[in-house]
Amino acid sequence: MSDSFDLLKSLSEAHGVSGYEDAVRQLVADRLSPLAAETHVDALGSLILRFPSESPDAPVLLLDAHLDEIGLVISYIEPNGFLRFTTVGGWDERVLPAHAVDVRTEDGKVLRGVIGTPPPHILKQEERNKPFQVENLFIDVGARSADEVAAMGIRVGDSAVPSYPFAQLNDDAVMGKALDNRAGCTVLVRLLEDLFGGNNQPNLPVNVVALFSTFEETGGRGAQAASYAIDPDIAMVFEGTVAADCPGVPAARNPSKQGKGPAITLMDRTAHLPRSLVRFIEGLAVMADIPCQLKTPIFGGTNAARIHMVRAGVPTAVVSVPCRYIHGPHSILRLSDLEHTIALGREFVLGAADYLHHPA
């Protein structure tokens, strides 16, 4: 698991808010471009890598993982040096106050700050019991004026993310920011390295196109544009999904459990995926002795919402690593779940053409 750990750590710690994915994209491109027959960055910033089959007329298999994370964007600079911000993506605004953040300037410099809040000593009792509204929050980078902020290189439009190091909690569990979706990116990078990184590369019955997409957290626009250009015959999306197997959450509201392997999506709020494809993937897992689970109930959405409706329609699957506390400053996943997701992805690449020949 050491390769996956090191890769996940570097991707988790990289700064990549929706629309600001360049640092994460570069990490992926540096590892995979030497293996691909073609590497391309499209107009919306998504990274596309092609691994062609030697078989004539082989179908196109699209493998997607989104690069971006939820974050903050500086929206106004107060005369006394405090930074107002807006959220990007689906934050739970209750968890924002008092967290340390990294503000990344346009030239790539990273400056640390904190989301400031009034201390409890000066709050009225009724104020203590109310969550803060985003419009009342601000980032304190230690500046005393707007001129000092400007001298630091911070401008309106710069992005910010939680500022905490990646950590190993035990031999299986790790904690870091942006595991949605640096977990999916890690799965896809490791899968491609496994398939195409050796001297004896397999002649696959599919043309593999890897898409590391932008803007998923703000509507999936990157995947929509790229998949239209790629025109796939079949697709799989790799994600980090909600694991709520923790105190206070009824089992019926828990989408996935840690330690049970990858979670396969049957449907969510944005897509209803082919039941036959879900069953096919479950069968691959059984044959390869890979633990897996169905993601329940019908929460969330992924790039499958965009990909499966491209052109005349694309049979699309979603396989996810269960992650606790996503869309917050820290998440936790199990490396064993991540490794099992890589293994299931490999079985799907090897078997996708069989599904297309016998989809029902």
Q: What is the pLDDT of residues 274-288, one digit of tens each?
A: 999 999 999 999 999
Nearest of 141, 178, 175 to residue 14 by alpha carbon: 178
Pairing of strands 83-88, 100-104: unpaired
* Average pLDDT value for residue range 296-319: 93
Catalytic residues: 216
Nearest of 300, 294, 296 to residue 269 by alpha carbon: 300
pLDDT at 226: 98
Model confidence pTM above 0.75: yes
Nearest of 232, 228, 265, 266 to residue 349 by alpha carbon: 232
Question: Which pLDDT band holds residue 200 (cuts at 50, 70, 90)?
Answer: confident
Name the token pair of 273: 């995926």
Three-class SS string for 264-308? EECECCCCECCHHHHHHHHHHHHHCCCCCEEECCCCCCCCHHHHC
pLDDT, tens only, 217-272: 999 999 999 999 999 999 999 999 999 999 999 998 999 999 999 999 999 988 98
Nearest of 23, 47, 26, 13 to residue 108 by alpha carbon: 23
pLDDT at 360: 67
* Average pLDDT value for residue range 350-360: 89
What one-letter code names the amino acid at 124? Answer: K
